[in-house]
């Protein structure tokens, strides 16, 4: 008969809310762990005998009880509620000229916060968990659904990630989304950013935290305010926007490097090479150098939900709660204000003379922000926007599914190995440092499993590798 031990760690008023289950069935040891209310991840291991399986189980249980886990009854505690950003959008003021929208993709009625644009694709993610990618003419290229609402989409060099309401961060680089980080046990994500595999997170309580490439906490600080909707990361540090302004922290140890107050709470943040921007509830966009100096203020007519910039601040863009978008010159001069026609811009990005926005009515819209198009729009001439409707929603992607292969020469072979209480991934193929860990999807880590990945790249800061591209499980021919 199987022996089952179920433990939970849930702090009243705190952030930890997770479970750990150990099952011994003969010589088979099964461990399941994750966020309370979720199925979690499962690891299965065959030991040499039932006695060794029980001994290994007791070791695992002891490790968890030292960390504060205690026996509990499965199902008594409920899944923790998700904090979502509350935004109220109004129509643009009468008389506001319409923006020159080239095309508008309607992803449904769910509000959209996630956006990322590069040379090849325009990505959008909404609170229904749907993610769409389109080309620059609005043609749908791909779609899939994650298990929960998308809070943001961020890029880190050639990697693309989506942060979700289920507390997980998904790598979007393969055929199926993969769980790269699972941090909801420690923080209630409001926003996140990633630099060289290291994750920065802002949460509902105004904390800012940094997690390394293995999803382990590097440091956590209580900010000067609450409701941290902004976090941006670069090689210099972490920029945190909250109810009291913008604060910069050191990457390594979380030391505060500078703080600048703002009127109103920070609702969104953007960065360029040498500048950082904060959109606030007091109808303003703030701009600071990355040393925290030379503040500039851009005045809007409503609460600013989002902002972006071009050419390190040559132009500054903003979206307010009245369905209008703005463009400012570097010195703060307002150049134009135009109505979106599709709700308020929750997030935005400027790319190639176009302003891409995702909105409160669930749209991804492409605005022609060239000087000629804007001049024509201010004079009352705008193009007829092409409207693209999303296809029917698809089923939720199964993050744990993976193709199999017997071909060890089709990529780089990596192996999952036990390292204390953790399962690490290391390179087996020749030509790599076998002592370095590989940043690898959490949902695929099973002791002894081997995979073939398209590429393994050294991180920019060194000391670990990052898996890139497709992943296939290696099986015996």
Q: What pLDDT is stored for residue 201 in this prediction?
A: 92
Per the structure, the count of domains in the chain is: 3
Flag whether 77 is in a domain.
Answer: no
Model confidence band, residue 84 (pLDDT cutoffs 50, 70, 90):
low
Global model pTM greater than 0.75:
yes
Flag whether 201 is in a domain.
Answer: yes
Flag whether 293 is in a domain.
Answer: yes
Provide the token pair at 4. Answer: 């089952």
> What is the C-alpha separation between 454 and 469, in angstroms, rounded?
5
Q: Indicate whether 55 and 129 sit together in one domain.
A: no
- The string of pLDDT tens digits covering residues 273-290 is 999 999 999 999 999 999
Provide the token pair at 411. Answer: 């990529």
Assign 419 to helix, strand or coil. Answer: strand
CATH number of the CATH domain containing 56: 2.20.140.10
Flag whether 19 is in a domain.
Answer: yes
> Rounded to 5 degrees, what are φ and ψ at 329?
-75, 165
> What is the C-alpha separation between 180 and 170, in angstroms, rounded?
5
Flag whether 90 is in a domain.
Answer: no
Q: What contacts 24+ positions apart, CB below 8 Å, involve 327-336?
A: 327/369, 327/374, 328/285, 328/298, 330/296, 331/296, 332/296, 332/297, 332/298, 332/299, 334/298, 334/299, 335/374, 336/374, 336/377, 336/378
> What is the C-alpha separation between 266 and 208, in angstroms, rounded?
14
Q: Indicate whether 381 and 410 sit together in one domain.
A: no
Residue with the larger pLDDT of the pair 83 and 160: 160
Which of these three, 333, 363, 389, is where a domain ends? 389
Q: Provide the pairing of β-strand 101-106 with 386-389.
A: parallel
Please compute the mean of the pLDDT values over residues 348-361 and round it to a whole number: 96
Flag whether 350 is in a domain.
Answer: yes
Q: Indicate whether 385 and 412 sit together in one domain.
A: no
Which of these three, 51, 71, 91, is where a domain ends? 71
Which residues have a Cβ under 8 Å from the Cβ of 143 and sit 6 or more positions away? 130, 131, 132, 133, 390, 391, 394
Q: Indicate whether 60 and 105 sit together in one domain.
A: no
Q: Indicate whether 190 and 337 sit together in one domain.
A: yes
Please compute the mean of the pLDDT values over residues 16-39 and round it to a whole number: 84
Percentage of residues in the chain having pLDDT higher than 90? 65
CATH number of the CATH domain containing 266: 2.130.10.10
Q: Indicate whether 253 and 217 sit together in one domain.
A: yes
CATH number of the CATH domain containing 442: 2.40.50
Other CB atoms within 10 Å distance of the CB of residue 330: 17
Residue with the larger pLDDT of the pair 443 and 100: 100
The radius of gyration of the chain's CA atoms, rounded to the nearest angstrom, is 24
- The string of pLDDT tens digits covering residues 54-68 is 999 898 898 888 877
Q: Indicate whether 371 and 459 sit together in one domain.
A: no
pLDDT averaged over the chain? 90
Percentage of residues in the chain having pLDDT higher than 70? 94
Q: Indicate whether 251 and 114 sit together in one domain.
A: yes
Ranges 25-29, 256-260, 310-314, most confident? 256-260
Range of the domain at 230: 101-389
Q: What pLDDT is stored for residue 62 in this prediction?
A: 87
Which of these three, 389, 413, 430, is where a domain ends? 389
Q: What pLDDT is stored for residue 189 in this prediction?
A: 77
Flag whether 395 is in a domain.
Answer: no
- The string of pLDDT tens digits covering residues 31-48 is 988 778 777 778 888 889
- Residue 421, Cα to own-chain centre: how many angstroms? 26
Instruction: Evaluate if residue 80 carries a pLDDT over 70.
Output: no
Instruction: Evaluate if residue 15 carries a pLDDT over 60.
Output: no
> What is the C-alpha separation between 328 and 338, in angstroms, rounded?
12
Flag whether 248 is in a domain.
Answer: yes
Q: What pLDDT is stored for residue 399 in this prediction?
A: 64
Q: What pLDDT is stored for residue 11 in this prediction?
A: 57
Q: Indicate whether 45 and 124 sit together in one domain.
A: no
What b/e sequence results for 107-134 when a residue is b if at least 16 CB atoms lie within 10 Å of its CB, and e otherwise? bbebbbbbbbbeeeebbbbbbbbbbbbb
Q: Indicate whether 226 and 263 sit together in one domain.
A: yes
Other CB atoms within 10 Å distance of the CB of residue 225: 20
Helices (H), 371-440: 371-378
Instruction: Evaluate if residue 460 carries a pLDDT over 60.
Output: yes
- Local structure of residue 346 (DSSP, 8 states): E
Instruction: Evaluate if residue 386 carries a pLDDT over 50.
Output: yes
Q: Indicate whether 44 and 177 sit together in one domain.
A: no
Q: Which of 74, 58, 65, 60 is nearest to 9 (CA)?
A: 65
Residue with the larger pLDDT of the pair 410 and 117: 117
Instruction: Evaluate if residue 14 carries a pLDDT over 50.
Output: no
Q: Indicate whether 342 and 259 sit together in one domain.
A: yes
């Amino acid at each position: 008969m199987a022996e089952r031990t179920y433990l939970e760690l849930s702090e009243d008023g705190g952030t930890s809310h997770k479970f750990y289950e150990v099952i011994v069935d003969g010589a088979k040891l099964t461990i399941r762990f994750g966020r309370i209310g979720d199925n979690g991840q499962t690891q299965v291991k065959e030991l040499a005998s039932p006695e060794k399986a029980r001994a290994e189980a007791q070791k695992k249980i002891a490790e968890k009880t030292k960390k504060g886990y205690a026996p509990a009854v499965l199902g008594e505690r409920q899944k923790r509620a998700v904090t979502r950003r509350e935004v109220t959008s109004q129509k643009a003021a009468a008389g506001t000229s319409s923006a020159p929208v080239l095309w508008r993709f309607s992803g449904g009625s769910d509000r959209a916060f996630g956006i990322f644009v590069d040379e090849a694709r325009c990505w959008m993610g909404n609170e229904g968990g749907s993610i769409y990618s389109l080309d620059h003419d609005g043609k749908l290229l791909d779609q899939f659904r994650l298990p929960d609402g998308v809070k943001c989409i961020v890029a880190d060099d050639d990697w693309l990630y989506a942060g979700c309401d289920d507390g997980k961060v998904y790598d979007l680089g393969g055929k199926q989304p993969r769980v790269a980080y699972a941090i909801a046990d420690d923080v209630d994500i409001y926003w996140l950013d990633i630099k060289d595999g290291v994750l920065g997170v802002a949460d509902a309580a105004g904390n800012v935290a940094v997690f390394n490439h293995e999803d382990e906490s590097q440091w956590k600080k209580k900010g000067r305010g609450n409701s941290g909707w902004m976090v941006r990361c670069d090689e210099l540090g972490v920029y945190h926007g909250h109810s009291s302004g913008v604060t910069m922290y050191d990457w390594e140890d979380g030391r505060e490097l500078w703080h600048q107050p703002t009127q109103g709470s920070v609702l969104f943040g953007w960065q360029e090479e040498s500048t950082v921007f904060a959109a606030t509830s007091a109808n303003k966009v703030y701009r600071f150098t990355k040393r925290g100096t030379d503040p500039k203020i851009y005045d809007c007519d409503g609460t600013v939900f989002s902002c972006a910039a071009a050419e390190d601040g040559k132009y500054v863009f903003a979206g307010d709660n009245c369905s209008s978008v703005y463009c400012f010159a570097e010195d703060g001069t307002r150049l134009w204000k135009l109505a979106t026609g599709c709700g308020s811009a929750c997030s935005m990005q400027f790319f190639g003379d176009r302003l891409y926005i995702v909105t409160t009515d669930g749209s991804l819209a492409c605005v022609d922000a060239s000087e000629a198009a804007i001049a024509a729009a201010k004079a009352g001439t705008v193009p007829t926007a092409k409207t693209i409707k999303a296809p029917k929603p698809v089923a939720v992607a199964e993050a744990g599914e993976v193709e199999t292969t017997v071909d060890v020469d089709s990529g780089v072979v990596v192996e999952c190995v036990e390292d204390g209480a953790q399962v690490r991934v290391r390179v087996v193929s020749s030509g790599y440092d076998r002592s370095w860990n590989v940043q690898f999807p959490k949902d695929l880590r099973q002791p002894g499993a081997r995979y073939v990945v398209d590429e393994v790249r050294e991180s920019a800061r060194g000391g670990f590798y990052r898996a890139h591209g497709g992943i296939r499980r290696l099986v015996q021919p």
